[in-house]
Amino acid sequence: MTTHSGGIEDGAGGGPVRHIPVLLNEVLSALMPGRGQVVLDGTFGAGGYSRAILERGADVIALDRDPQAIADGHALAEAFPGRLKLIRSRFSDLSAHAPQGGLDGIVLDVGVSSMQIDKADRGFSFQKDGPLDMRMSSTGPTASDVVNRFKVSDLTRIFGFLGEEKMAGRIARAIEAQRATKPFATTRDLAGLIEMIKPRRARDKIHPATQVFQALRIYINEELLELAGALFAAERTLKPGGRLVVVSFHSLEDRIVKRFFQDRFGKRGGSSRHLPEARQDPPSFEPIGKVVAASQAEAVENPRARSAKLRAGKRTTGASLPADMTLFGLPDLPVIAARGG
């Protein structure tokens, strides 16, 4: 699963992106997998991280909410008999799939995968016409449901916060006007409307629809809530000395990871209006290195890596701290209907 903004990746909403594991060497360096260890890959995708971890000798529990990713992973499981366990699951539920003694490592590559982007029938890409879907799990409400049914005020908040779209209100009002006569059914229906409101200029680096598509995808799949839940679950599940490595791709994701580690390292100062006052609890994590970004060479080879950031921490013997969602300062958005798989 992987994305996009803070620097927003063209592929996240647009054209095909060949799957290359982002920051692979840096992930392995922070994770340090080895024989006798059990590592959980919470975002299996095409299996790039899992394969590399298996090659280092560790066993892998791989999660993905996308049934196609799990089905495609059976060939890798056969290549490493008895060492790769594939499970269809949200990564926020990772603690339910860990061995009783805990995990030696967890890696999360946050967002949408290149395989999902490349398939027009999944509805993630505005450069491939397909149904306006965007569901990672293929269950629950679709992007079409949101665009055709939500109030203008709700669409404005979704586009403005999750997509950081400056013209969120104008786009939402245009959607309301158009859907009254012709509901939005395909990715090109929506992208075409946005292009009329935000004509692409020669100097623009991203397509005009990128931010709205990003916002809908994040909202439909509850990606920020999922990430927050996965971080708390990782804290409960890692052994002392176990390592948590997170690769994020846009500012909203990275802010959540940063605040989590800042709090769990015991460095929270209470200076932000979003953060409660600092506690005296023993830190539950200690830092592993500094924040890592992709090199210029990797960004050229793999456009997905342009905005990637890696943050990592090692579990201490300190107790797990409360799973307090106010830590992240997330806004109140309309509740998505049924929670998918």
Q: Which residues are annotated as a binding site for S-adenosyl-L-methionine?
A: 47-49, 64, 91, 109, 116
Q: State whether residue 197 is helix, strand or coil.
A: helix
Task: Work out the angle at residue 180's Cα, subtended by the Cα atoms of residues 178 and 181, and round it to the nearest 5 degrees.
Answer: 75
Lookup: tokens for 227:
């990430």
In 3D, which of 27, 16, 218 has the Cα closest to residue 117? 16
- Helix, coil or strand: residue 149: helix
Binding site, annotated residues: 47-49, 64, 91, 109, 116
User: Of 105, 155, 72, whose CA–CA distance to 333 is shortest?
Assistant: 155
Cβ pair 202, 68 in contact under 8 A: no
Distance CA 246, CA 251 (A): 14
Residue 135 neighbours by CB distance under 10 Å = 22
In angstroms, the CA 311 to CA 246 distance is 5
Single-letter amino acid code for the residue at 200: R
C-alpha dist (Å) from residue 72 to 69, 225, 249: 5, 26, 24
Residue 310 CB contacts under 8 Å (≥ 6 apart), including other chains: 23, 26, 27, 30, 245, 246, 247, 291, 292, 293
Q: How many Å apart are CA 60 and CA 328, to the nearest integer?
A: 29
